[in-house]
Amino acid sequence: MPRTDELRERGELTHIDAAGAARMVDVGDKQVTRRRAEASAFVEMQPATLDMIEAGDAPKGDVFAVARIAGIMGAKRTPDLIPLCHPLSITHATVDLATERGQRTGVLITAAVETDGKTGVEMEALTAASTAALALYDMCKAVDRGMTITDLGVLRKEGGASGTWVRGKESK
């Protein structure tokens, strides 16, 4: 496993300067390109909790509507939450929620964020998915405190010098 100083010398730790201090990456010389990222999270719950959500009977109201809005708001507030993220002008953000029953029971949250900018929107997509998951938990915790948020990760990113990356595939 490479040491931090070796990674920094190879340019693989872009948020650390030569002295090892945290820094915001300078994107001033990068080209503006269309950027898009997708991320997902899963909220595992009891079948009765999912029944309640689907029936629209949650005590706090429409769980999916609140989670969707929370996710979009989270994407917009990412630089306020993640210290070294650049403030970006997001051109589009969506949060989709789908129920699952089978090997696991719960809600799959998929967030997509787009911008025309000098840096990617992976953090915004991750923040959208996680914020939506947290809002869903908050909306249902009175009936199921055992819910678990899992599988948070980037699914896909497009744009910029590195091109397209898809989870599970080697592509550029």
Active site residues: 138
**106, amino acid identity:** G
**Rounded CA separation 121/169 (Å):** 19
Q: Which residues contact 114 (CB under 8 A, 6 or more apart)?
A: 34, 35, 36, 90, 91, 92, 93, 121
Name the token pair of 88.
Answer: 């970006």
Name the token pair of 52.
Answer: 């309640």
* Residue written as token pair 């009765």: 48
How far is CA 9 from each of CA 25, 29, 130, rounded to the nearest angstrom?
15, 20, 32
Classify residue 82 by its DSSP letter: S
